[in-house]
Amino acid sequence: MTLHPAPPFDLFNVYFERIYDPTMHLLFAFDGEVDEERLKEATLRLVAANPYLGCRFTDRDGMPCWEETAKSDQAFVVLPRGTEMPPAPLDVRTGPQVRVSLLREDGGDRVVVTCHHGFSDARGLVDLARDLFATYRGTAPAPVGWYDRGTDQVLARFSAAEIERAREEEETFVDRWRFPVEREGRGTPRVAYRTLPPDYLRRAKEFGRKHGATVNDIMIAAFFLAVLKSRDDPADRGAPRSILTSADLRRHLDRPVPPMNLSVAYDITLTAGEGAGLEDVIDQVTAATRRRKANGLGLGCILFYDEIYAGGVPAVDGFFDGMIQRYGEAGLKNPVFSNIGVLDEGIVLPLEGRDGRPLDLRRACILPCVCWPYGFLMSLSTFRESMTIVSAYEEGPYSRETVEEFLDFVVEYLP
pLDDT of 44-66, one tens digit each? 999 999 999 999 999 888 899 99
The stretch 345-349 carries a mean pLDDT of 97
Strand pairing class (361-367; 370-371)? unpaired
The stretch 169-193 carries a mean pLDDT of 93
Strand pairing class (99-103; 110-116)? antiparallel
Residues 399 and 393: their CA atoms lie apart, in Å, by: 9
The stretch 266-271 carries a mean pLDDT of 95
- The overall pTM is greater than 0.85: yes
Task: Report residue 281's pLDDT band, with 50, 70 and 90 as the boundaries.
Answer: very high
The stretch 85-103 carries a mean pLDDT of 95
Nearest to 119 by CA among 102, 95, 143, 135: 95
The predicted structure's pLDDT at residue 185: 94
Q: What is the pLDDT of residues 6-36, one digit of tens each?
A: 999 999 999 999 999 999 999 999 999 999 9
Helix (H, G, I), strand (E, B) or coil at 272: coil
The predicted structure's pLDDT at residue 71: 66
Residues contacting residue 145 through CB under 8 Å, at least 6 positions apart = 51
Q: What is the mean pLDDT of the chain?
A: 95
The predicted structure's pLDDT at residue 1: 66
Q: What is the pLDDT of residues 74-90, one digit of tens each?
A: 899 999 998 999 999 99
Long-range contact set of residues 92-95: C-beta below 8 Å, sequence gap at least 24 = 92/14, 92/17, 92/22, 92/56, 92/57, 92/116, 92/118, 92/119, 93/56, 93/57, 93/58, 94/56, 94/69, 95/54, 95/55, 95/56, 95/57, 95/69, 95/71
Q: What is the pLDDT of residues 284-341, one digit of tens each?
A: 999 999 988 777 788 889 999 999 999 999 999 999 999 999 999 999 999 999 999 9
The predicted structure's pLDDT at residue 173: 86
Task: Report residue 394's pLDDT band, with 50, 70 and 90 as the boundaries.
Answer: very high
At residue 247's C-alpha, the angle toward residues 211 and 364, to 5°, is 90
The predicted structure's pLDDT at residue 215: 97
The stretch 119-131 carries a mean pLDDT of 97
The stretch 182-203 carries a mean pLDDT of 97
26-61 burial code (b ≥16 CB/10 A, e <16) = bbbbbebbbbeebbbebbbbbbebbbbbbbbbbeee
The predicted structure's pLDDT at residue 179: 98
Q: Where are the alpha helices (DSSP H) in 16-159?
A: 36-49, 122-137, 152-155
Residues 230 and 347: their CA atoms lie apart, in Å, by: 36
The predicted structure's pLDDT at residue 169: 80
The stretch 360-368 carries a mean pLDDT of 97
Query: Could you give the percent of the chain with pLDDT greater than 70?
Result: 99
Confidence check: pLDDT of 251 > 80: yes
CA 385 to mean position of chain CA atoms: 20
Confidence check: pLDDT of 73 > 80: no
How many residues belong to the chain?
415
Residues contacting residue 275 through CB under 8 Å, at least 6 positions apart = none
